[in-house]
Structure 1
Amino acid sequence: MTAIERAIEGSVAAAGGDNPSRFDWREAWYPVAYLRDLPKGQPTPFPLLGEDLVIWWDGQGWRAFADRCPHRLARLSEGRIAGDGLLECPYHGWAFQGDGTCDRIPQQKEEGGAHLSPRACARAYATATGQGMLFVYGGDRERAARVPLPLVEPVGDFEAEPAGWTLFDTFRDVPYDALTLLENVLDPSHLPFTHHRSVGNRSNAGPVELELQTHDRQGFTGFWAEGPRRGKLGSQSTRFVAPCLMWHDLTSKQLGRTLTVVYATPMGKGQCRLFARFPFQFASPIPALFIRLTPRWYSHFGQNGVLEDDQIFLHYQERYLAAAGGSDRFAKAFYLPTRADFFVTALRQWVNDFAGEPFPGAEFPASPPRDVLLERYRSHTQHCRSCREALQNIERLRVGEVALGGAALGGA
């Protein structure tokens, strides 16, 4: 009996649904935000798998609803968290409890019972927290309780920082699909060229002999015996946990143990939210101290630059692949003659064998100008508490400088 079959028969269910030969994108958990970045005092919109959601705090936990009021379909994310902790629609004041039930309809008489109707309920999604992130389940809420969260197993669970590890992370809404992102980060051979002078160097380029170890509906594992920088750092193992998580695991004498973790949360056709996490177990305490002393907003500044190294060509690459027939025809659209592309092939084969693409039949939105593809405020800063507060502080300093300059001129 396979692990999938055991999970289906038992109390734990595998992500992807009950059909062992197909993977349902909706029957899975997806991270939508780091907990530290979510405001408890106001609702937050987020699109998941093409569905507009509203994320909010009801005083007991994080909730996720379809972002439309059952009354007249107004966006609930434009509403407010009322004084009694309910989510209140901005249009007519209908208010909802954390499970989606309607608590009050201001327009009905006191003895009215319209709020008790199932039609008055907001559509609620299952939510859970783990490793400092909020996850939303895209499908059946009852099944969600049996599907484990896609957590990074070596690190263990934590709220702020994992015990025994030093962690820094970032996120960004990128202008390409989740599959394009996963294909990119599963490919170690692009780092010396794409990220030359940021996190790579062309002098480290060379043959990349990847080995695929396991491959099934739930993902795959692989190994790179030589490892990065032409073997200077040691061997590297890779794991893809379907449908949205991958990590590389490397232990070296120089640096200690390093994980490179990426989640790819599908938002809509041609857009996903990237979560990148870097847990370290350093051989020396000095690098850990340096990371802890570095402001989060400052590290995000550099990390966003790394993400922009390949942002433009990934945006267009996936459109060229779609024009050539999509993932179904990747083997003809791509020329993959070396083992460096083994994990790319494994990912595309997983799509073709089990999952299909997350937005079949959907059209890409029009490509925006280059400067829009690279802009940071809407894709990161406005959603990041650390960067948003840093920007506000800078703006306050600028206002203060102008005021001081004006006072100096006035006194001259």
Structure 2
Amino acid sequence: MSSFNFFQHWYPLLPVEDIDPQKLTTATLLGIPLVIWKQPSSKTYQVFLDRCPHRLAPLSEGRIDDKSNNLMCSYHGWQFEANGDCTRIPQADNPEIIAQKNQNFCATVYPSCQKNDLLWVWMDESSAEIAAKTSLPLSSKIDSDKGFVWSSMVRDLEYDWQTLVENVADPSHVPFAHHGIQGNRERAHPIPLNVVQSTIELIKAEVDKPFKTTITFEPPCHLEYEIVLPGGKQLGLITYCIPVAPGKSRIVAQFSRNFAYQLHHLIPRWWDHLQNRNLILDGDMVLLHQQESFLQNINWKTAYKMPTKADRLVIEFHSWLDRYCEGKLPWEQVGVVASLPTGTTSREVLLDRYHQHTQHCSSCRNTLKIVKLWQWILLTYFIVIVSIVAVLPDSLRIDLGVWLTISALLGLGISALLRFWLMPKFYFIDYVHSQR
């Protein structure tokens, strides 16, 4: 029986629009720390192992040198160009040593590319030739020439890759876990799901009601819903389930459709994240984190009770994992302890939007900066205006002072709205199912 190689596949790390080209960006995939960077003159990003070959200091703590435009380690100043070659060792007594033994001093570079607005990485640095011949798990729904528009999102999750795939592969939880956001518990109905294909490379399922839906899982990460609505309208939910570490995963998602174009352009990306996408992920987080802790050291076949057709894709995924991966990810190959984190995790940590999403999303983090700025501007305006009105002559205080005071109070009200209603949505919103 063939075994599945998690390292010789393409994974998306982030939407390209969310990467700050002026800074070094970190990510972790399959327990391996990575640093993302690019030279100012380049249009493409590079993905390095986040370790300097000198003394294993994290390269992500370094900087892009102003003169050479290369990546500099902040520990001893070693520099590396885009292909990983070491170009400078400040401590070298003999500068020729770099040229003579350069292979010993190279940074580890993973094959990477940019496609469908995502930055992709291949996690086996020694098989670049295979990577070049391997197709990326792209969606045909990310194509403006076919009339589609789309938006993207990334969020780190406090549960394992297996749990993430299982959850996305389960459409029947939507009316309940996401009631009032993406579903309605009063309209829940049986889902006649049929698995029509299952190989080491692809699992495919189909649903006929209420809309014709095709669900495909292209291991290890690409899980997509293709929904056909009346009148030829199509929706696409394209998710990439990224294994970060035991008990940690990342979802990179793209949401496409071939209708409602004006609505797509009118709704800011950050607003969609706050009011829709983050809420959906919040609705799963506490449920799945606890479910995962209950499942430790227990076989899913005996722990789960799954008698309906709606569960068939979940069953097929776990069977695939058992058949080709021995029911686990290859953590031992990278020296990572496979056990899940122990102890109780607070809701503030589980639903920490800032560290899981906002800091990764260019739209949300930039909007948060603007919101903070306006909150202080309006608060300052209130203080200044009140101070001015207090020293106005009596003749002006009645006519001019009233309007100035009204404007100051209005500014104070907007400032309070930004501070106590909008800003928390970028950090933490508790999700209590019983109150929805």
What is the TM-score with the length of structure 2 in the denominator?
Answer: 0.83
How far, CA to CA, are the matches of 1:198 and 1:225 in structure 2? 23
Letter aligned with residue 306 of structure 1: I
Distance in 2 (CA, whole Å) between partners of 1:244 and 1:348 is 14
Structure 1: give runs of 5+ residues left out of the alignment.
1-19
Q: In structure 2, what residue type is equivalent to 1:261? A: I
- 2:300 is paired with a residue whose SS is helix
Shift of 1:409: 3.8
Give me the whole-angstrom Cα distance separating, in 1, the residues matched to 2:361 and 2:149. Answer: 20
TM-fit CA distance, 1:142: 2.9
Please tell me whether the aligned partners of residues 26 and 33 of structure 2 are also in contact (alpha carbons under 8 angstroms).
yes
Q: Deviations over 1:39-92 (max 9, x none)?
A: 111211111100111011133321111101111111101111112221110111
Deviation at 1:241, TM superposition (A): 0.5
Whether the 8 Å CA contact 1:219–1:350 is kept in 2: the answer is no
Residue 398 of structure 2 corresponds to none
User: How far 1:255 sits from its partner (Å)?
Assistant: 7.6
Deviation (angstroms), 1:106:
1.3
Would you say the 8 A contact 2:163–2:288 is kept in 1? yes
Instruction: Determine if contact 1:239/1:247 at 8 Å carries over to the other structure.
Output: yes
1:136-181 CA distance string (max 9 Å, x none) = 111133321121111113444xxxx565102122221011112211
CA RMSD, Structure 1 to Structure 2 (Å): 1.7
SS at match of 1:93: coil
Pick one of 20, 31, 46 that aligns with 1:39: 20
Aligned to 2:84: 100
> Which residue of structure 1 aligns with residue 338 of structure 2?
362
Paired residue for 2:29? 48
Q: Name the count of aligned residue pairs.
A: 375
Residue 316 of structure 1, aligned match among 269, 290, 295 = 290
1:298 aligns with 2:271: yes
Contact kept in structure 2, 1:155 and 1:162, CA below 8 Å: no
Secondary structure of the residue that 1:398 maps to in structure 2? helix
Say which SS state the counterpart of residue 22 (structure 1) adopts: coil
| Larger-Rg structure | 2
Distance (Å, rounded) in 2 between the aligned partners of 1:144 and 1:362:
27
2:214 equivalent among 234, 237, 242 = 237
Displacement of 1:95 in angstroms is 0.5
Which whole-Å CA distance do the structure 2 matches of 1:111 and 1:267 have between them?
Answer: 39
Q: Which residue of 2 aligns with 1:112?
A: 96
> C-alpha displacement at 1:334, in angstroms?
0.7
Mapping for residues 162-177 of structure 1, pairs under 5 Å? 163-177=146-160
2:233 counterpart (256, 277, 286): 256
Q: Which residue of 1 aligns with 2:132?
A: 145
**Would you say 1:395 and 2:372 are equivalent positions?**
yes
Partner amino acid for 2:171? Answer: P
Structure 1: how far apart are the matches of 2:222 and 2:22? 30
Instruction: Measure the CA separation in 1 of the matches of 2:302 and 2:93.
Output: 65
1:405 counterpart SS class: helix
1:381 counterpart residue number: 358
Q: Indicate the structure with greater helix content.
A: 2
Q: Which residue of 2 aligns with 1:266?
A: 243
State the distance in 1 between where 2:371 and 2:257 align.
31
The corresponding residue for 1:67 is 50
Kept in 1, the 8 Å contact 2:176–2:184? The answer is yes
Inter-partner Cα distance in structure 2 for 1:126 and 1:224: 37
1:92-241 correspondence runs (5 A)? 92-109=76-93, 111-114=95-98, 116-139=101-124, 140-156=127-143, 163-226=146-209, 231=210, 234-241=211-218
2:69 to 76, 85, 108: 85
Offset, 1:372: 1.1
Verify the 8 A CA contact 1:171 1:274 in the aligned structure 2: yes
**Aligned with 1:309: secondary structure?**
helix
**Alpha-carbon deviations, 1:355-407, whole Å to 9, x = none?**
24223651212342111100100000011111011000011111212321232
Could you give the per-residue CA deviations for residues 243-294 of structure 1, whole angstroms, max 9, x where no partner exists? Answer: 1011111111168111111111111111111112111012xxxx22011111
Letter in 1 for 2:312: F
By how many angstroms is 1:182 displaced? 1.2
Q: Which amino acid aligns with 1:127?
A: S
- 1:177-226 CA-partner distances (Å, limit 9, x unpaired): 12211111111111111111110001221211111101000021111122
Question: Contact 2:15 / 2:152 at 8 angstroms: preserved in 1?
Answer: no
- Equivalent residue for 2:407? none
Contact 1:35–1:132, Cα closer than 8 Å, also in 2: yes
1:318 maps to amino acid: E
Distance 1:169 1:117, change over 3 A: closer
Helix, strand or coil for the counterpart of 1:344? helix
Point out the more displaced range, 126-135 or 246-255.
Answer: 246-255
Identical positions, percent: 34
Q: Is the 8 A contact 1:219 1:243 kept in 2?
A: no
Q: Which amino acid aligns with 1:57?
A: K
Q: Which moved more, 1:312-321 or 1:376-385?
A: 312-321
